[in-house]
A and B are shown apart, each in its own frame.
Chain A
């Protein structure tokens, strides 16, 4: 989905719809199957495994201690994770800058958007750095284990701080004080607009009971 406005708007509605009710989650899941590149996202499933485990544990606790609701919670949260994964994989460099400027103007919006894009850059850089540290441990003839996590994390943080310092220098030297002039341009396909409309439909299904649409006794 090229247009970040439709993507973010759809993502918000779909996440809310999935959270509110099981019928909503079902509608959102069907939307996800129809309108997103399912295979591409499944390849990235390892990114969310940790989250899935945490939610599963919490759901189990809920089911056992609070008299039920854990299964419903787990189901709804898994659909939200799918929507989150879809938004993450569809992200294109510069999306947040354009979206932020369009929403909130060329001062606050520009800065928020720029920060968000830089945040995304940092995330993928941290991922790369982590892989490099693991490779470095292996090249030195050492075994990677849980004990490496603490020094690895500290090396990652130190690296991120140094990059932040360089970024601050670059911003200053390029004349940044507040905001920036930008006329964001967006492009979209017909399919995206249809997907956006159906995202609204999924949201409506959550708000209005299904029996309102179909005459059910």
Chain B
């Protein structure tokens, strides 16, 4: 379990929160603190006060995979193979093992045919899938996705969902403006002005958002 107690950072103020294993989707207006929260969960930022503990460890001691919103800002290296291999190389996994792990991950994500391509030749959707592969190759405990579906078409979005379910990290915490995709989550958190205003199962949270644009269109037309 991820336990958050008395967290304070910038506009964010969370007194008490528990995130269970599975898929947790974070929704809410822009500027409500969603990205800030994700950065704290990933260890990119440190809270001013309070704590985030992931199965007994702070975020910086946990294995994390991260994909942010912009396809071009998730890239460190210019070739697909170098990009996917990066986490393994930085962790000093023996070079002979890296090739096999990269190929296996690329196969699972469905990008094995792109391995020898330069990143700049890829479409935005392909870049997101490569970033996902790079985030998953070292088999992280937590996968954090910051609106990385916002520049994907429906087909690529479905591919991404399939990859996440196939690779099955213990925790997936993702932020999205595609509220319909949150219907299948295990837990939904609705942020507003730096606070979690609603949390619970999709049914519980969305029942409070019925007359807002955050209510899933799927349920609006097929209740």
Q: Is the CB of B95 within 8 A of A182?
A: yes
Q: Is the CB of B98 within 8 A of A94?
A: no
Let me know if B166 is at the binding interface, CB within 8 A.
no
For window 87-126 of chain B, which residues contact chain A by CB distance below 8 Å?
A: 87-96, 98, 118-120
Q: How many residues of A contact B (CB 8 A)?
A: 27
Q: Known: A93-B78, A94-B82, A183-B95. Contact between A163 and B73, CB under 8 A?
A: yes
**Contact partner, B76, options A124, A167, A179, A182, Cβ 8 Å:** A167
Across the interface, name the chain A residue whose C-beta is closest to B96. A183
Q: How far is the CA of A167 from the CA of B73 in the complex (A)?
A: 7
Let me know if A53 is at the binding interface, CB within 8 A.
no
Q: How far is the CA of A183 from the CA of B94 in the complex (A)?
A: 9
A187 to chain B, nearest CB (A): 12
**What chain B residues lie within 8 Å of A117 (beta carbons)?**
77-78
Q: Known: A93-B118, A97-B82, A169-B44. Contact between A174 and B73, CB under 8 A?
A: no
Let me know if B173 is at the binding interface, CB within 8 A.
no
**What chain A residues lie within 8 Å of B73 (beta carbons)?**
163, 166
Across the interface, name the chain B residue whose C-beta is closest to A93. B78
A115 to chain B, nearest CB (A): 11
Does more than half of chain A's interface fall in helix, strand or loop, or is it mixed? helix
Task: Type the 1/0 row for B70-84, where 1 means its CB is closer than 8 Å to any CB of A.
Answer: 000110111100100
**Known pairs A171-B76, A182-B95 / 20 extra A-B pairs, C-beta < 8 Å:** A93-B118, A93-B120, A94-B82, A110-B89, A114-B77, A117-B77, A120-B78, A169-B44, A169-B66, A172-B44, A173-B43, A173-B64, A174-B87, A174-B90, A175-B138, A181-B88, A181-B89, A181-B92, A181-B93, A182-B89
Across the interface, name the chain B residue whose C-beta is closest to A110. B89
A13 to chain B, nearest CB (A): 27
Residues of chain B having any CB pair with chain A under 8 Å: 39, 42-44, 64-66, 68, 73-74, 76-79, 82, 86-96, 98, 118-120, 134, 138
**Contact partner, A180, options B43, B64, B89, Cβ 8 Å:** B89
Q: Is the CB of A173 within 8 A of B82?
A: no
Across the interface, name the chain A residue whose C-beta is closest to B144. A173
Q: Is the CB of A181 within 8 A of B76?
A: no
Interchain pairs with CB closer than 8 A, number = 69
**What chain B residues lie within 8 Å of A118 (beta carbons)?**
76
Q: Known: A169-B44, A173-B42, A174-B86. Contact between A94 and B77, CB under 8 A?
A: yes
Q: How far is the CA of A215 from the CA of B42 in the complex (A)?
A: 73
Task: Type the 1/0 row for A68-111, where 1 means its CB is closer than 8 Å to any CB of B.
Answer: 00000000000000000000000001100100000000000010
Let me know if A177 is at the binding interface, CB within 8 A.
yes
B142 to chain A, nearest CB (A): 11
Q: Is the CB of B94 within 8 A of A181?
A: yes
Let me know if A121 is at the binding interface, CB within 8 A.
yes
**Contact partner, B119, options A93, A120, A183, Cβ 8 Å:** A93
Q: Is the CB of A170 within 8 A of B76?
A: yes
Q: How far is the CA of A163 from the CA of B42 in the complex (A)?
A: 19
**What chain A residues lie within 8 Å of B119 (beta carbons)?**
93
**What chain A residues lie within 8 Å of B96 (beta carbons)?**
183
Pick from A94, A163, A170, A177 the residue with the most CB of B within 10 Å.
A170
**What chain B residues lie within 8 Å of A121 (beta carbons)?**
78
For window 179-201 of chain A, which residues contact chain B by CB distance below 8 Å?
A: 179-183
Q: How far is the CA of A124 from the CA of B78 in the complex (A)?
A: 11
